[in-house]
Structure 1
Amino acid sequence: MIATNTLPAKISKTEQAQAAFARLLADASRRGFYGTTSITLNVQDGAIQQVRVSVEKTIR
C-alpha cells in the first residue's frame, strides 16, 4: 500500500519523522499484525531531506 501524506509546510522534517515513527510503532504493535515495517531518513549535510515509511503486511 502506498499512501501520500500531506502535512502543513510549517512542520519540520524532524517532527515529521517523529510522528511517522509513532504511527508506525502504533500500527505494528496491534494484535494480529504480521509483516515488516521500516522508516528511512534521507539526510544531507545533517538535515533530513525525506522521510519514507514502509509497511509490508504478511497475509496468514
Structure 2
Amino acid sequence: MRFRLRRSLRLGPLRLHFTERGFSSWGLQVGRWTWNNRTRRHTVDTPGPGYLQSRGRRRR
C-alpha cells in the first residue's frame, strides 16, 4: 500500500489542491456548497454524516 500526500490551500472561498506532483485542481467553497473545476462536480454538505454530490463532467 502506498502513502499519498494531498494538501489544500485555502484563500477565502478559493481552494487550491496539491498532490505529490504539484498543483492538481482548484475549487470554490461557499458555506456548505463546494465546486471543483477539474471534475466540475458540485457537493452540498448535509446535516449529519452524509452529503449530496452531482455527477460532474461526463466522459466521452
Structure with the higher fraction of residues in helix conformation: 1
Would you say same fold, with TM above 0.5? no
Place the TM-score, normalised by the shorter chain, in its bin. under 0.3
The TM-score with structure 2 as length reference comes to 0.24
The TM-score with structure 1 as length reference comes to 0.24
**Relative contact order: is structure 1 or structure 2 higher (C-alpha 8 Å, sep ≥ 6)?**
1
Structure with the higher fraction of residues in strand conformation: 2
